[in-house]
Amino acid sequence: MHRLICGFKLLGLLGWLGLSGHLAAQSPTITRSSGEVLPIRLELRTLGRGEKAPTVIVGHGSGGLAAMHREMGSTLNSWGYNAVVIDHYSLRGIAVHTGKVVLGARGEDRALDFIETGRWIAQQPWHEGKIAVVGFSQGGGGVLTLVNDRNMRNLDYVSDAQPNPISVASAFYPSCFFSPPPAKPSIPTQVHLAEMDDLARVSYCGLGDDSPYRVHLYKGATHSFDESFSPFARLGFTQRYNPRATRESRENLKKFLDEHLR
């Protein structure tokens, strides 16, 4: 389970230069108790210097692992947390599939990746305390699937003997159409919604004022409001980087993590 395999190309390593934290140059192999090896890559950004801290898992959306997710890892380090960024796609051969559901990248697939990664994190010498997960877009859908305890038990992902190792969850502009939120999340869960999202529409989530979720709605923001796309990118949805929504969402995320992980 702890065997190390080389996982990064030089370009990927160069993309991390200048970010805070200690970057591991190899990806661990994550193996289920059944012996099944999960086809995922992990980019580990720990605090280093022998420090132990709570850990946050970062999950990407249908567009795959991007610079923004790695930057989130660095931001989490600056807040005093270890970060583990998941690449769900490379080893599965999955390409970009905006607005579609693909085998291996469904909410339940992502939830399993989160859970087994959490079990691995719990055994690491640099980790101490609770584990959180932050997911974006379809990664946010994976978060909403994860907090459905009945579904996780039916899939045999968790049980009384093997409980969910993740204690805190946050979903950014989640794909509620494909992964609807359960009526009551099994762990404290925060949801970040974009008012002008025409891909993962706010109405799909159905989270009212009496919701048991911690909901933040960002006025005037679109899908992926915290990610910059090339002006030449051909997108089937509206996407505009919104510095205000990005700043506020990071502030809200930090407060939530500090409240539940400290």
The Cβ-side half-sphere exposure at 144, using a 13 Å CA radius, reads: 31
Low-confidence ranges of the chain (pLDDT < 50): 1-18
Token readout for 243 is 């510095």
User: Torsion angle of alpha carbons 227, 79, 132, 68, nearest 10°?
Assistant: 20
- Taking a C-beta distance cutoff of 8 angstroms, is the pair 110, 139 a contact? yes
pLDDT reported for residue 35: 95
pLDDT reported for residue 2: 31
- Taking a C-beta distance cutoff of 8 angstroms, is the pair 99, 236 a contact? yes
Report the CATH number that the domain containing residue 137 is assigned in CATH: 3.40.50.1820
CA 23 to chain centre: 18
pLDDT reported for residue 121: 98
- Taking a C-beta distance cutoff of 8 angstroms, is the pair 199, 177 a contact? no
Distance, in Å, from the CA atom of 80 to the CA atom of 60, rounded to the nearest integer, reads 21
The total number of structural domains in the chain stands at 1
- Taking a C-beta distance cutoff of 8 angstroms, is the pair 56, 132 a contact? yes
Q: How confident is the model over 209-231, as pLDDT tens digits? A: 889 999 999 999 999 999 987 76
Q: Give the predicted TM-score (pTM) of the model.
A: 0.91
pLDDT reported for residue 236: 81
Give the domain range for residue 48. 4-261
